[in-house]
A and B are shown apart, each in its own frame.
Chain A
Amino acid sequence: MLKIRNLHALIEGKEILKGINLEVNAGEVHAIMGPNGSGKSTLAAVLAGREIFKVTEGSVEYNGKDLLDMAPENRAHEGIFLGFQYPVEIPGVSMVNFMRTALNEKRKYFDQEPIKSSDFLKIMREKKALVEIDSGLTNRSVNEGFSGGEKKRNEIFQMAMLEPELSILDETDSGLDIDALKTVAQGVNMLKNEHNATVVITHYQRLLDYIVPDFVHVLYDGRIVTSGTKELALELEEKGYDWIKEQF
């Protein structure tokens, strides 16, 4: 599904990603861990197409297409979803309007008619039930005045609505208490099937108790320095990131 080869990226002249190699296949869950500043969020943003990062070298192939060549919205249409570490507040834009527009733009991309209002509202209802999000939240403006937990839950709700193939969850666990963490993880697990894949970016092992990864990668100083199975996450938790820093 996703093949990253020797990816280099910089921001304001400073190189953050220094040659990332990663392959993700359908049905897999990958966890990317690493200390602060190692480039985790940059990798997520580059995959989603954030323009402030400049890719200087390497390639990203997504379902046989050159991902780096696509506009951010087209990447979304093709099935890439980024769960933001800091979901953005958009005052005045209602969640309903936001989601309907997103869904219809995707349909347009695939030459489909816009969704009927009644059908749309039905999907909204189903997905809301699925991720257990309060109607109170979806009736408000996008993320406006949401608590940290509500924002993250809203990200998972949008993920459910958009049914992505590749979900990249950037520090979805930050700022969540244990109950919120469980709900969010539950949502992610529920949406998982053999056709889609998930990349979980996290600083802590905690989230991986609930979203069990098939592969764990450690990102340090812009490179994936080691990869393994979920045991690697536990080892990392035990020994701390200094262990990585010493080794590399």
Chain B
Amino acid sequence: MDVATENKKISTELSDWYFSSRDRLMASSSSLINAYRPEAMEVFRELGIPDQKQENYKYTNIGKSFLMPFRKYIEPKKILFSVEDLFHCDIPDLDTEVVLLVNGWYYENQNQLQTLDNGMIIGSMAVAAQKYPDLVKEHYGKYVDFRTDGLLALNTAFAQDGTFIYVPKNAGSNQAVQIVNLLLSPEDLFVQHRNLVIVEEGAQAVVVVCDHTLSGNKFLTNAVTEVFVGANAHVEFYKVQNEHNDSQQVATTHFHQERDSHVNFNTVTLHGGLIRNNVYAKLNGKGADNNTLGLFLADQNQHVDSYTFIDHAVADCTSNQNYKGILDDKATGVFAGKILVRQEAQRTTAYQTNNNICLTDEARMKTKPILEIYADDVKCSHGATVGQLDENALFYMQSRGISCRESRLLLMYAFGHEILKKVTISPLRDRLDDLVEKRLRGELSRCNSCSLHCQ
């Protein structure tokens, strides 16, 4: 079967599933979420699963993932477990409000929607849409443009639950909200969650998202997160991906930034079978500042694809992307970063760098940094490198008595640390440092955070 036929088959299956379960879908959700479904489905039927002919998916065959026989549900399957037994977060001293998503559903044995003292609301997306329809309606689906990507359309057509975070005007603290995405199922599962984070004017938020697989089954995730960042608001957003080799994930995070807002977004990919991270940032108000960083470590047959699209829509904004990858064994990596500076966006400062190290002959890296610039008063640059560890540095270290293996580790660690040092929450930074070091030493198993040690 050729790719086109395959993708046609997948699209037909998914749209059949949609139509056969549409009534139940509609009944389960708020009308404001339902309102997007019909058009999203139509767009999906037209665009389908992106194939490699599409420039944005040139180096990642995502269709192959959809060919596997995953189970799909439109209501949560009961998964009974004790959180304490299964999962504990290894970040000591990190003061967090932890919420759990299990297989894309807001975990039932926790407060479904809580309001903190400072006015923050944290809870289930599905419940929030019922309880705060006006608030959700103002932002839901307003930032992600599902017409540009079949997978975004697919998520929008099926969106039911996920995490909802609301930080009212001038509120917020440094206390982090930690969203733990657990994948745990006795069968192979297809999961789509939809998250919404609203940070109003002058507010502050710290969000840490951790992706974990807790059972050895195959998983396919197609997740979308929309983040609204109001004027002068400040958002720190961290994503730590630690899934096993049979997991496949497409995660899209879209930041919509108003005047003088700041976003620091940092994705650390420790482990995963096939990972595609999409980051969109629209700088929609003057003075907005976006820092998007990423570090990925890939070995065996893992594939990590990072796509970033920074849209400078107005003047006087700054953006900076820095992505680094270390590829071992037969791992493959992709970075495609695009900076768009629209004609009105004068006095833009935008930088982008992508550095990669291939450790073996069979590791592969494709990188594609793109500048598209329509304004003249700009400072933009990008750089990309693919190389190896510096032989001179290795010899220098060896001549100081550091073994070859240790020298390599030190250099790799130093290479990655440049991304990690930008993590502003020190307990998280220390933990990530530790995890990265362990990962580089080969000591981090996929079941690291799982006490079952099932494999």
Chain A CB within 10 A, most for which of B399, B401, B410? B401
What residues of B have a CB within 8 angstroms of the CB of A76 in the complex?
398-401
Check A73–B417 contact: CB distance below 8 A: no
Chain A CB within 10 A, most for which of B399, B406, B417? B399
Check B404–A84 contact: CB distance below 8 A: no
Check B393–A71 contact: CB distance below 8 A: no
Within 8 A of B (CB), among A4-29: none
Q: How long is the Cα–Cα vector from A88 to B417 in the complex, in angstroms?
A: 19
Chain B CB within 10 A, most for which of A48, A72, A92? A72
Partner of B410 from A50, A77, A101 at Cβ < 8 Å: A101
Is B17 at the interface (CB under 8 A from chain A)? no
- What's the minimum C-beta distance from A60 to chain B, rounded to whole angstroms? 15
Is A34 at the interface (CB under 8 A from chain B)? no
For A73, the closest partner residue in chain B by CB is B398
Q: How long is the Cα–Cα vector from A79 to B397 in the complex, in angstroms?
A: 14
Is B443 at the interface (CB under 8 A from chain A)? no
Check B403–A105 contact: CB distance below 8 A: yes
Is B374 at the interface (CB under 8 A from chain A)? no
Q: How long is the Cα–Cα vector from A91 to B415 in the complex, in angstroms?
A: 8
What is the 8 Å Cβ interface bit string for chain A, positions 71-100, against chain B (1 contact, 0 not)?
A: 111111100011010011011110001100
What is the 8 Å Cβ interface bit string for chain B, positions 375-414, against chain A (1 contact, 0 not)?
A: 0000000000000001011011111111110110011001
Q: How long is the Cα–Cα vector from A48 to B399 in the complex, in angstroms?
A: 7
What residues of B have a CB within 8 angstroms of the CB of A51 in the complex?
395
Is A55 at the interface (CB under 8 A from chain B)? no
Is A162 at the interface (CB under 8 A from chain B)? yes
Check B398–A82 contact: CB distance below 8 A: no
Check B410–A71 contact: CB distance below 8 A: no
- What's the minimum C-beta distance from A123 to chain B, rounded to whole angstroms? 15
Chain B CB within 10 A, most for which of A98, A106, A162? A98
What is the 8 Å Cβ interface bit string for chain A, positions 132-147, against chain B (1 contact, 0 not)?
A: 0000000001100000
What residues of B have a CB within 8 angstroms of the CB of A172 in the complex?
none
What residues of B have a CB within 8 angstroms of the CB of A73 in the complex?
397-404, 407
Check A97–B410 contact: CB distance below 8 A: yes
What residues of B have a CB within 8 angstroms of the CB of A93 in the complex?
393, 410-411, 414
Is A102 at the interface (CB under 8 A from chain B)? yes
Q: How long is the Cα–Cα vector from A50 to B401 in the complex, in angstroms?
A: 13
> Given A90-B414, A92-B414, A93-B414, A98–B397 Cβ distance below 8 Å?
yes
For A97, the closest partner residue in chain B by CB is B410
Q: How long is the Cα–Cα vector from A141 to B414 in the complex, in angstroms?
A: 10
What residues of B have a CB within 8 angstroms of the CB of A87 in the complex?
396
- What's the minimum C-beta distance from A39 to chain B, rounded to whole angstroms? 19
Q: How long is the Cα–Cα vector from A73 to B394 in the complex, in angstroms?
A: 10
8 A-B pairs with least C-beta separation: A92-B414, A76-B401, A72-B398, A102-B400, A93-B414, A88-B396, A73-B398, A90-B393
